Amino acid sequence: MLYTGKSILDVANENNFAIPAFNISDWAMFKGIMDISEEKAAPVIIAIHPDEVAHITTDLIPAMHARAHRSSVPVAIHWDHGGTYEQMIMAIQAGFTSVMIDASLQPFEENVALTRKVVEAAHAAGVQVEGELGTIGANDSYGESGAAEIIYTNTADAVRFVEETGVDSLAIAIGTSHGLYPANKNPELRHDLLEEIKAAVGIPLVLHGGSSNPDAELARAVSLGVNKINISSDIKVSYHNRMREILGTDERLREPNAIQPEPLEAMKVTAAEKIDLFGAAGKASLY
């Protein structure tokens, strides 16, 4: 059940739940996320950002299409945090069904112009577009295109941005940061701002930097209109921490079938928690 970003998110918007966008960086992670999504009967967005694309290459996308087509749940394959028009064209040609153009660090007018250009090309190819307005923080070197400080999305700017670009969904800055939060930093979401923006624009809203946020904050964000939440660090930590433990038990271990099953199960536990938290479990029946 391969879907575009808009068609999969419109159902979430109409039914007030959020679809997890899980960032994967190898085939095993992709397979594990697909398996747990099917077990939970939950729609899923497979997100891949440029660093991950460089690692797995776009050659893997046709295989993802094949897996999605025989899946029992809706699946969108999403290019996360695209930085240039040329990159977005490459993503469309490679078979991504949804793309994000992130020009949030550029001046407003430049962000609008680039996003509108991407929307025109993507819509012509039947691919949907996510834009970003405001800047999401970065907690560590793995924070994709995050700014040092959060610049909250302005509601009036959001209305104008959506009208002038024609984006299908909008990533907003309401207090999240990419990466894992250090011990001395506590995430705090501006739910009042979220509610204001949702009422003003109406389209599906996206929350980036969803790892490490308290469950109650994320659940409230979903209830107020967030329809897509990106999860990367949390599932990767679960996956690789368990892998380190497995590898530490026997230095002779070398076969993936002996190493990866338990790390994948650990990742699936974390992913299942997010699916439940976002209200996505069982929602495949709505499509």
Residue ranges at the known binding site: 81, 102, 132, 178, 208
Q: At 177, list the tokens.
A: 């940061």
How many whole angstroms separate alpha carbon 279 and alpha carbon 186?
24
User: Burial of 285 by CB count in 10 Å (0-12 exposed, 13-18 middle, 19+ buried)?
Assistant: exposed
Catalytic annotation, pick one of 10, 26, 80, 192: 80
What is the per-residue pLDDT for 200? 98
- Whether residue 192 lies in the annotated active site: no
What is the chain's alpha carbon radius of gyration, rounded to the nearest angstrom?
18
- 259 token code pair: 């190493």
DSSP assignment of 83-144: -SHHHHHHHHHHT-SEEEE--TTS-HHHHHHHHHHHHHHHHHTT-EEEEEESB-EESSTT-T
pLDDT per residue, tens digit, the chain (287 aa), is: 999 989 999 999 999 999 999 999 999 999 999 999 999 999 999 999 999 999 999 999 999 999 999 999 999 999 999 999 999 999 999 999 999 999 999 999 999 999 999 999 999 999 999 999 998 765 554 444 455 577 899 999 999 999 999 999 999 999 876 545 444 555 578 999 999 999 999 999 999 976 667 899 999 999 999 999 999 999 999 999 999 999 998 889 999 999 999 999 999 999 999 999 999 999 999 99
**Sequence letter at residue 274:** K
The model carries a pTM of 0.92
User: What are the structural domains of the chain?
Assistant: 5-233+267-286 (3.20.20.70)
Tell me, what DSSP letter sits at residue 286? Answer: G
CA torsion sign for 17, 212, 98, 45 is negative
Q: Report how far apart the first and last C-alpha atoms of the chain are (Å, whole number).
A: 9
